[in-house]
Amino acid sequence: MGHSLLCMTGLLLLGSLFYVNAEVPNKPTVILEPSWPQIYSSETVTVRCEGSQSLFVWREATLIRPRTSEYRISRATESDSGGYSCCTMTLSVCSDIITLTVSSSKPRATLTAQASVIPAGGSVTLSCSVEGSAGWKFDWFRRDSQFSGGQKIGAGTSEHTISISEGGIYYCRGGRGDPVFSTEDSAAVTIQKQVLAAVKLQHSWSQIFTGETITLRCEIQGGEGKVWKYEWTAPNTNSPPTSSEYRISRVSVSHSGDYRCRGSSDYLLTGWSDAFTLTVSSSKPRATLTTQSSVIPAGGSVTLSCSVEGSAGWKFDWFRRDSVSSKAQLMRGNEANRVISVSQGGLYHCRGGRGDPVYYTEDSSDVTVVETSSKPRATLREQSPVIPAGGSVTLSCSVEGSAGWKFDWFRRDSQFSGGQKIGAGTSEHTISISEGGIYYCRGGRGDPVFSTEDSAAVTIQKQVLAAVKLQHSWSQIFSGETITLRCEIQGGEGKVWKYEWTAPNTNSPPTSSEYRISRVSVSHSGYYRCRGSSDYLLTGWSDAFRLTVSSDKPRATLTAGTTIIPVGGSVTLNCSVNPSSSSGWKYYWYRDNTTVDVVSPSNGQISVSQEGLYRCRGGRGNPVYYTEDSQEVQINKTVTVSGADISSSPVWLMVGLVCGVSLIIILLLLLYRCRQSKYSCFTRSIQSESHSPGSSTNHGVNQNETHEYNSLHPGDANLYESITQEEDTGTADVTYSLITLQNFGKKRKHHKAEQSAVYSEVKTGAAEDSLMYAEVKQPKKEKAKKNKGTSSPAADAAVYSEVTSGSSLSQ
């Protein structure tokens, strides 16, 4: 070998000297495919020679492979690096040397982004590259979150850039060659998409007064269905809210200024909204009352109008007094209509109110309205304006300066309903009432009766009971759950209620019947109370509901009666959540990280018949709050192992084959006889067990039994023969031989003949269960001509031969 190398080296030197400064005739060319300057481990490379002579591939004066002009390296390594050339066998003519360099390190793609934020309605360009090499095509991937799998959004494109318009986590990789060699994935780049935000005032009015409660909202266009984090910039505060609403309970002049907001959600981002300029007036507005006339004509009425100049959104309350020194009584309240008609004299004033809680204007100046009659008016007084729960209130009616009156009593359900008489002509000047409403009275005396004017109306509210209750059926609450407290009012069914709450950890409790806490924490623990008002019903503050929030997250527990699934059976798994004081759980099941079932509440059982690694967890509420996962339990299936020695199988196979061939010869003779006697041999009765057509053979045959089966269809011939050895000590080896026959055009007075089959079963020796089937089919004859009273050709007849070694199966 050393002498050969030395000779070859000498020849190369000699050839190089001979051709120095001279053009080599017919000089070959060496080509490297692919022609990339940098090759990586595991890539496929081909060295090819081109020229008019018989050329061979050499590497650094070493012949790679005789009699070949092409050398293919399927999975390149560093050892394949070196100089390659193409020469004749004698090295008389050689190509230039081409250098192959194989790098052991796998390259990583590099992803760069034009920008990290996609402008609203725009796009961003991503670029992918592999440094120091060429020939790459690129695959592009996107993930919705850090924990989701990557979705391919572009495959095998030679373009190294793409344009995207959706936020997400992006990465890329390069690939080249055939088969494809892939780089490492690039580092991920997070791209956010910008959407628009706007600050809007919840109310419809623009002028705001000191003391009002207002709410600004941050509205995001195109962000529906996302969970947003909000930021605000606002005057007069160092801690603006982080929710979508900016509520100012008692606004002042110092709150005037520009308000902006922005939001972020996953890979969506808004810029700062345009400024909303809030202007707060320091002066409290005053209502203005005007009257059509100051004198009520007999039997008539006058119109009063109330207004608040320069602003909107007001509702109006109306008041009346008998005199300057008397107390004003509310006539009508919270009416959007600013005009009323009155038919009773007195001093009237009004005021405006808006918002929640209601912000009131200053009262208007009094307007005096007089009647033309000198007719007396009854006076109604109440013991209390509120009826206690389960109690009553006394009303008194009188006519000043005279006697002999009897009294009629009236009640209205609302300001606009007619009065219903609840007591007539009683000399008692008091009554006891237990229902809320608007009450008034009048006096009458003489015959015919002379009636006074109706008294001024008195509004009586009835107190009912309120209670705070947890919407869910479980008492123990964990941090992170979503809960709802409800204010339930007994006896207030069918009414429209206004609600108030007192609660820990908040300055702006809700004004609805439900108090919903999206992600409860330990800081929400404490006492919750509510109350309500509706028309003439009023509740006191409810008893305190104590909410206790546990900081510990519960864990599910998985137990199994057994971890082995019996053959054809199943295993019951039980899932539970501790502590036992918590309830309302649904159970979520997983096998090998795949969801398998969801079981209804309070039922933590599931039956499984598949092996695998199982775990479970509990969940409850909406949105679902999940417990920690249970421990994992491995469930396996029962494995049945044959007791016979596999090494004995070839012996019994030979026995089965010999017996099968012998039986085939015997059965062919039997079939020939059957054909001669029109299949009379197949009409024998069933001696032991019968099977319907198409059913399987019963392999559980007792010793010394022989079975013959007769087909239910004319023309079918099925013969089962059983041969059993005296000793039956092992498992069975069974060989079946199937021979299919056909009638040969003979006339029969029946329908078409079906398939005929003969089965033979031989049981010998002790061995494993082993089955062998051999099938022989004769070709069908052409159909005979149709003649009246003749049957069609018989269908295939089949013969099965079964050889069973040892004892039969247990079943």
Query: Is residue 321 within 8 Å of 345, Cβ to Cβ?
Result: no
Helix extents (H) in 123-201: none
Q: What is the pLDDT of residue 581?
A: 60
Spell out the residues 6+ positions from residue 394 whose beta carbon is closer than 8 angstroms to its own. Answer: 382, 383, 430, 431, 432, 433
pLDDT at 734 over 70: no
Query: Is residue 345 within 8 Å of 298, Cβ to Cβ?
Result: no
Cα 213 to Cα 576: distance, rounded to the nearest angstrom: 48
Cα 516 to Cα 349: distance, rounded to the nearest angstrom: 41
417: left (phi over 0), alpha (psi -120 to 50) or beta: beta
Query: Is residue 350 within 8 Å of 289, Cβ to Cβ?
Result: yes
Spell out the residues 6+ positions from residue 544 whose beta carbon is closer than 8 angstroms to its own. Answer: 468, 527, 528, 529
pLDDT at 768 over 80: no
578: phi then psi, degrees, rounded to nearest 5: -105, 150
Q: Which helix (H) or strand (E) holds 490?
A: strand 483-490
pLDDT at 687 over 70: no
Query: Is residue 312 within 8 Å of 204, Cβ to Cβ?
Result: yes
Single-letter residue type at 24: V
Query: Is residue 575 within 8 Å of 596, Cβ to Cβ?
Result: no
Cα 49 to Cα 32: distance, rounded to the nearest angstrom: 9
Cα 699 to Cα 761: distance, rounded to the nearest angstrom: 9
Tokens of 64: 């790679």
Query: Is residue 559 within 8 Å of 572, Cβ to Cβ?
Result: no
Cα 648 to Cα 732: distance, rounded to the nearest angstrom: 12
pLDDT at 205 over 90: no
Q: What is the pLDDT of residue 1?
A: 39
pLDDT-above-90 percentage for the chain:
43
Buried b / exposed e over 204-242, threshold 16 CB at 10 Å, is eeeebbbebbbbbbbebeebeeeebebbbbbeeeeeebe
pLDDT at 707 over 60: no
Distance of CA 720 to the CA centre of its chain: 59
Q: Which helix (H) or strand (E) holds 233?
A: strand 229-233
Using CA atoms, how far residue 804 sits from 686, 704, 723, 734, 763, in Å, is: 21, 13, 9, 4, 4
3-state SS, 512-580, equals CCEEEECCCCHHHCEEEEEEEEECCEEECCCCCEEECEECCCCEEEEEECCCEECCCCCEEEEEEEECC
Q: What is the pLDDT of residue 337?
A: 87
Tokens of 274: 């345009």
Q: What is the pLDDT of residue 579?
A: 67
544: phi then psi, degrees, rounded to nearest 5: -70, 135
Cα 557 to Cα 631: distance, rounded to the nearest angstrom: 7
pLDDT at 17 over 90: no
Nearest to 765 by CA among 810, 728, 721, 801: 728
**Residue with more model confidence, 50 or 709:** 50
Kindly report which listed range (241-250, 442-451, 463-472, 601-610) carries the lowest average pLDDT score.
Answer: 601-610
Tokens of 677: 């006697």
Cα 403 to Cα 401: distance, rounded to the nearest angstrom: 7
Kindly report which listed range (13-27, 462-476, 521-535) carries the lowest average pLDDT score.
Answer: 13-27
Highest mean pLDDT among 78-82, 657-661, 706-710, 783-787: 78-82
Query: Is residue 757 within 8 Å of 717, Cβ to Cβ?
Result: yes
**Residue with more model confidence, 339 or 64:** 339
pLDDT at 256 over 90: yes
Nearest to 381 by CA among 344, 427, 433, 332: 433
pLDDT, average across residues 479-489: 93
Tokens of 299: 């039997």
pLDDT at 565 over 90: yes
220 bridge partner residues: 197
Q: Look at strands 137-143 and 151-157 and give their pairing.
A: antiparallel
Place 791 in a pLDDT band, splitting at 50, 70 and 90. very low
3-state SS, 11-22, equals HHHHHHHHCCCC
Nearest to 457 by CA among 424, 414, 403: 414
HSE-CB of 267 using CA atoms within 13 angstroms: 20
Single-letter residue type at 541: W
| Residue found by looking up tokens 């509205």 in the block | 219
| Residue found by looking up tokens 């004698």 in the block | 90
pLDDT at 15 over 50: no
Computed over every residue of the chain, the mean pLDDT equals 78
- Which DSSP category does 434 fall into? -
667: phi then psi, degrees, rounded to nearest 5: -70, -35
pLDDT at 519 over 50: yes
Kindly report which listed range (331-335, 361-365, 754-758) carries the lowest average pLDDT score.
Answer: 754-758
Q: What is the pLDDT of residue 647?
A: 43
pLDDT, average across residues 518-523: 92
HSE-CB of 531 using CA atoms within 13 angstroms: 11
Q: What is the pLDDT of residue 597?
A: 64
Q: What is the pLDDT of residue 186?
A: 96
Q: Which helix (H) or strand (E) holds 217?
A: strand 214-221
pLDDT at 542 over 50: yes
- Which DSSP category does 186 fall into? P
Q: Look at strands 594-599 and 586-591 and give their pairing.
A: antiparallel
| Model confidence pLDDT, tens digit, residues 160-183 | 999 999 889 999 999 998 889 999
HSE-CB of 204 using CA atoms within 13 angstroms: 4
Q: Look at strands 605-608 and 633-637 and give their pairing.
A: unpaired
Place 676 in a pLDDT band, splitting at 50, 70 and 90. low
Kindly report which listed range (116-120, 386-390, 749-753) carries the lowest average pLDDT score.
Answer: 749-753
- Which DSSP category does 715 fall into? T
Cα 626 to Cα 142: distance, rounded to the nearest angstrom: 28
| Residue found by looking up tokens 């009699």 in the block | 67
232 bridge partner residues: 261
Q: What is the pLDDT of residue 741?
A: 39
pLDDT, average across residues 641-658: 55
Cα 752 to Cα 743: distance, rounded to the nearest angstrom: 10
Q: What is the pLDDT of residue 254?
A: 93
Tokens of 422: 């609840």
pLDDT, average across residues 63-86: 86
Percentages helix, strand, coil for the chain, rounded to the nearest 5?
A: 5, 45, 50
Buried b / exposed e over 46-55, threshold 16 CB at 10 Å, is ebbbebebeb
| Model confidence pLDDT, tens digit, residues 600-609 | 555 788 999 9
Single-letter residue type at 10: G
Nearest to 85 by CA among 102, 64, 54: 64
- Which DSSP category does 453 fall into? B
pLDDT at 155 over 90: no
Query: Is residue 604 within 8 Å of 556, Cβ to Cβ?
Result: no
Q: What is the pLDDT of residue 546?
A: 94
pLDDT at 696 over 90: no
Using CA atoms, how far residue 697 sits from 692, 693, 700, 719, 774, in Å, is: 10, 11, 9, 11, 15
**Residue with more model confidence, 24 or 523:** 523
Single-letter residue type at 739: I
The answer to whether the predicted template modeling score (pTM) of the entire model surpasses 0.75 is no
